Amino acid sequence: MATRLGDLDLEDEHVTVGLDDSLMEAAHRLIDVPGGVLIVLDDDGTPHGIVRPDHVLSQVVRNIDLRDARCRDVMESDLLRLSIDTPLREVVEAVATRSPSAVVAVDEDGEYAGWFSPSDLARARERLGVLKDLDRAGR
């Protein structure tokens, strides 16, 4: 049973994009992840933000040329960066306390290791509830 952030499948529901990639590129990548997001990384693999479909669509309705606009200009940068070794209980508590735009896992060098999606949060809460119930039953 998963007990730490790195035990979850953090590779689904998203793809990555660069800070200076165009929103046209972002739109093409978002097509491949319906309901997902783009994690915006710098050249060193450090996460800086997320781009959701609504970020791209807002630029479309403003008649912005998606070939000229950059991901860095529309991304949300309120990321909670947590080590892949962070216990799930701490992850869930941190999300509840801070309510970030996104939670990303990073390795010991601060490089991107995965996205903790809303469905991951639901699964983590469920697993923690099961563990809590098992603890009570063992008493």
Ordered by where they begin, the domains of the chain are 5-137 (3.10.580.10)
Average pLDDT, integer, range 17-25? 97
Q: What is the pLDDT of residue 119?
A: 87
Q: How many CA within 13 A on the CB side of residue 78? A: 5
Confidence label for 127 from pLDDT (cuts 50, 70 and 90): confident
**Are 56 and 76 in contact, with CB atoms under 8 Å apart?**
no
pLDDT tens across 87-112, in order?
999 999 999 999 899 999 999 998 99
Cα-atom radius of gyration of the chain, to the nearest Å?
A: 17
Residue type present at position 50: I
In this predicted structure, the answer to whether residue 135 has a pLDDT above a threshold of 50 is no
At residue 84, does pLDDT exceed 60? yes
Q: 71 vs 121, which has greater pLDDT? A: 71
Sheet containing strand 102-106, edge to edge, reads 79-83, 102-106, 112-116
CB neighbours of residue 1 within 10 Å: 8
- The H-assigned helical ranges of the chain are 23-31, 53-61, 71-74, 88-98, 118-137
CB 131 within 8 Å of CB 2: no
Q: Tell me, what's the pLDDT at 81?
A: 95
By C-alpha distance, which of 26, 30, 39 is closest to 67? 26
- At 41 the three-state DSSP class reads strand
Longest C-alpha distance within the chain, in Å?
62
pLDDT given at position 130:
54
pTM of the full structure: 0.85
The contacts of residue 73 (CB under 8 Å, 6+ apart) are: none
User: Rounded mean pLDDT of the chain?
Assistant: 89
- Compute the average pLDDT of residues 71-95: 95
